Amino acid sequence: MYLACALTSDASLQSPFTTSWRAAMVPEENFPSLAKLMSFPMKQTTLSFFLPLALSLALAACSSNPYAATNKEYKKKAKAYAKTLRATPVTNPGEDSLMQGDHWVGTTNFNMRKPNYVVIHHTAQNSTEQTLKTFTLPRTQVSAHYVIGRDGKVYHMLSDYLRAWHGGSGKWGNNTDLNSSSIGIELDNNGYEPFAEEQINSLLQVLAILKKTHGIPAANFIGHSDIAPSRKVDPNPTFPWKKLADAGFGIWYDEEAVRNSVFESVIPLFQDSAAAATDSTAMPVPIAVPTATVAVDTIPATFQPKDALRIIGYDVQNLDAATKAFKLHFIQKEVNGILTDDDKKVLYHLYKKSL
């Protein structure tokens, strides 16, 4: 039985104090006294006495967690996984064909596996409530560990030690199962709008907790488009990746070093200096005297952008998609499959950081 959050008049009963309850989403076990109160006929005087109490309990039911039912399902599934972890002796399917030891011996030295990546998404939905609903419907088959609203409210939906279904098919470096090694964070955003300041502030707090708790390397804070460049474009180009990197979450490039980078010139293997000396039309070339010392980083002629993207972590099987994902994260303008000279300078410095 479920109890209602709204009262409706019952035409079959003539007393103005008599009401009927419609089934709603509040489980009976949460309010047993109210359920019993509604389970048998009562006289008008009794109803007039108990009605205020019933109304107050109903209001309390209405203000309770609307996700009580799905929370119960979460606990049920977590309990089932805990039972699996407690099972001894430890076995896998097919182990009965192995030559077993004389006794089962369980080690005393172990702890929980820890996530080693954080993958940041935008929801591409219109509200936090819509996303919470999506992540609590079994048919959607999608979830995340955290959802952060535009208002900065944080919903921690799944234990960091359990596997959320947020990354889908993807790859980063040699890792082809990011769901098993990462924490997924969804930011309430329709996919086009800038990210709210309150939201980013909360995100930075969550990332600080995760980095400290799990020891996640700075380079392992990445975006959904990074791991699935052929399928995904989130978070959108307005996401403040540099701000995160400055706080220790993700990598970025030294902008001054990029500005002072030059490409290695191709120098001719041989020049006839005698012929050049007899050329009376040759004009002397003025020599520029530097007025200040500037550290110049020369990008070698052998630099290969495809190899650089791969070493950073991108799946370059679809080079055009990998290039777009790189520009979405680090350039954040003219997101296409073409690398300009300035883009190549940024790529070169990120490549060197990733070696």
Contact 18, 47 (CB under 8 A): yes
Contact 186, 166 (CB under 8 A): yes
Contact 187, 148 (CB under 8 A): yes
CA distance 190 to 122: 7
- 186 included as an active-site residue: yes
Tokens of 114: 């820890």
Residue in 29, 73, 186, 197 annotated catalytic = 186
- What values do phi and psi take at 269, rounded to 5? -70, -30
Angle, helices 305-312 vs 319-330, to 10°: value is 70
CA angle 109, 113, 116 (to 5 degrees): 135
- What values do phi and psi take at 293, rounded to 5? -85, 120
Which amino acid would we find at residue 141? Q
Secondary structure (3-state) at 350: helix
Contact 204, 194 (CB under 8 A): no
Cα–Cα distance list, 352 to 35, 67, 151, 325 (Å): 67, 48, 38, 19
Give the catalytic positions in this structure.
186
